[in-house]
Amino acid sequence: MPVPSLTDYSSASLDCFFREILEQFEREAALARSAEAVEDLRIRWVGRKQGLLNRVGEILKLAPAEARKEAGKRFNALKAAIEPRCDPQRLPPPQSADGGLRLPAAGAPSLAAETIDVTLPGTRRRLGAEHPLIKTMHEMVSVFAAMGYSVAEGPEVESDYYNFEALNFPPNHPARDTQDTLVLADQERKPLRERLLMRTHTSPVQIRTMERRPPPLRIVVPGKVHRNDAADATHSPIFHQIEGLCVDVNITFSDLKGTLDYAMKAFFGSAVKTRFFPSFFPFTEPSADVQISCIFCGGKGCRKCKSSGWIELLGCGMVDPAVFLSVARKQPAYDPEKISGFAFGMGVERIAMMKYGIGEIGQFYSGDLRFLEQFA
């Protein structure tokens, strides 16, 4: 059948043109009752070189600009109606004279083609891998777990009391400023200590755990925290922390130094050295910043350690007695005259960037599989 002629590209002419083509296809498709016949139908209508649909497409290419959109829309509808019916696999199964399904005879080629070779390897499912932040967090937690620390968790939406007041933050402390803290809406009418906010550190979990459990206590607190920071190469409004707390009788600063020195060596290698510098945190006294010898240059000095040979990694200190007094209202066992303890905290992103040589914190949150597959 030659393709019908198309004198103009008006809507009426296109209706007639496509109707004639579809009617001719329906007549030929009704006669295609075997796989061979359907294959011949496919070659005739949708064949790559001599298919009739190709010829129809060539005719429609000559349509003027104002008619091309309508002609293209109708041509796509025609292809959608014809192409599926030219697939031999869509041929209905043969039926017997009484209308039942007719099974092929034993040994027939069609039955042989349906056999399955059970010796072939199966389709493997691609397994995911831990995100580098989760992987780093689990590795750090396992280091402290080996020293007898258990894992504690708490809510990300905290009250001002647990996030600040119980941790000895005075009301006018800069960390309370809304430029640093993400406060939930409609909290102005509540008393300050009851106002809800996104926790700025995982330290509130330390307070909640001490209120529930008497000493001795050794916990690490991994989790997500939120601050109103502008995103750049080393800062993000969402990041992760691992904090630790140890409380018992006669806990000293020497215990703190030994614990962190062992943890850094276990994570970065036995050659790593640590040193402590005086610092200030409202919830510890005395407080210190901890530096480790540069893992990139071995302490000789390089660009990453600013030629100092040392990298600042975390903060720590002895728990301030004022924190124990806040807890003692619910758990009298935390009497600062009888017990002592230390706490520490570090950023997971900073540690992961050091360990894997990542220069942009935003890569952790980009969702780029090209980046994440490196850690599979």
| pLDDT, position 114 | 63
Per-residue pLDDT of the chain in tens (376 residues, 90 and over written 9):
567 777 778 888 888 888 888 888 888 888 887 888 888 888 888 887 777 888 888 888 888 888 888 888 888 888 888 888 887 666 554 544 444 444 444 444 555 556 777 888 888 777 778 899 999 999 999 999 999 999 999 999 999 999 999 999 988 888 777 668 888 988 888 988 899 999 999 999 999 999 999 999 999 999 999 998 888 887 889 999 999 999 999 999 999 999 999 999 999 999 999 999 999 999 999 999 999 998 888 888 888 888 899 999 999 999 999 999 999 999 999 999 999 999 999 999 999 988 888 888 988 988 888 888 888 7
Number of domains present in the structure of the chain: 2
| pLDDT, position 106 | 47
| pLDDT, position 100 | 47
| pLDDT, position 89 | 67
From CA 327, how far away is CA 320, in angstroms rounded? 12
| pLDDT, position 36 | 83
| pLDDT, position 18 | 83
Give the pair of three-digit tokens for residue 160: 């001002």
Decide if 321 contacts 286 (C-beta within 8 A): no
From CA 224, how far away is CA 154, in angstroms rounded? 10
| pLDDT, position 16 | 85
What phi and psi values does residue 141 have, to the nearest 5 degrees? Answer: -65, -40
- For residues 153 and 72, membership in a common domain is answered with no
Best CA proximity match to 215, nearest among 185, 237, 186, 246: 246
Which helix (H) or strand (E) is 13 found in, with range? helix 11-31
From CA 72, how far away is CA 65, in angstroms rounded? 11
Q: Establish if 5 belongs to a structural domain.
A: no
Q: Which residues contact 125 (CB under 8 A, 6 or more apart)?
A: none
Q: For 5, which DSSP code?
A: P
Q: Establish if 4 belongs to a structural domain.
A: no
Q: Which residues contact 64 (CB under 8 A, 6 or more apart)?
A: 9
From CA 335, how far away is CA 324, in angstroms rounded? 7
Do β-strands 196-198 and 157-159 pair in parallel, antiparallel, or remain unpaired?
antiparallel
Q: Which residues contact 304 (CB under 8 A, 6 or more apart)?
A: 294, 296, 297, 311
From CA 119, how far away is CA 116, in angstroms rounded? 9
Q: For 184, which DSSP code?
A: P
Domain coverage including residue 161:
132-375
Decide if 132 contacts 352 (C-beta within 8 A): yes
| Residue 339, number of CB atoms within 10 A of its CB | 21
- For residues 139 and 81, membership in a common domain is answered with no
- For residues 174 and 33, membership in a common domain is answered with no
Q: Establish if 2 belongs to a structural domain.
A: no
- For residues 24 and 163, membership in a common domain is answered with no
Cross-strand bridge partners of residue 287 = 279, 317
| pLDDT, position 214 | 94
Do β-strands 310-319 and 340-347 pair in parallel, antiparallel, or remain unpaired?
antiparallel
HEC assignment per residue over 310-335: EEEEEEEEEECHHHHHHHHCCCCCCC
- For residues 354 and 235, membership in a common domain is answered with yes
State the CATH number of the domain containing residue 233.
Answer: 3.30.930.10
| pLDDT, position 60 | 81
- For residues 34 and 137, membership in a common domain is answered with no
- For residues 95 and 194, membership in a common domain is answered with no
Burial class (CB in 10 A: 0-12, 13-18, 19+), 159: buried
- For residues 74 and 198, membership in a common domain is answered with no
Decide if 253 contacts 342 (C-beta within 8 A): yes
- For residues 144 and 247, membership in a common domain is answered with yes
The last residue of a domain, from among 62, 80, 102? 102
- For residues 198 and 305, membership in a common domain is answered with yes
**Reduced to 3 DSSP states, what percent helix, strand and coil does the chain have, rounded to the nearest 5?**
40, 20, 40
Whether the full predicted model's pTM is greater than 0.85, yes or no, is: no
Q: Establish if 149 belongs to a structural domain.
A: yes
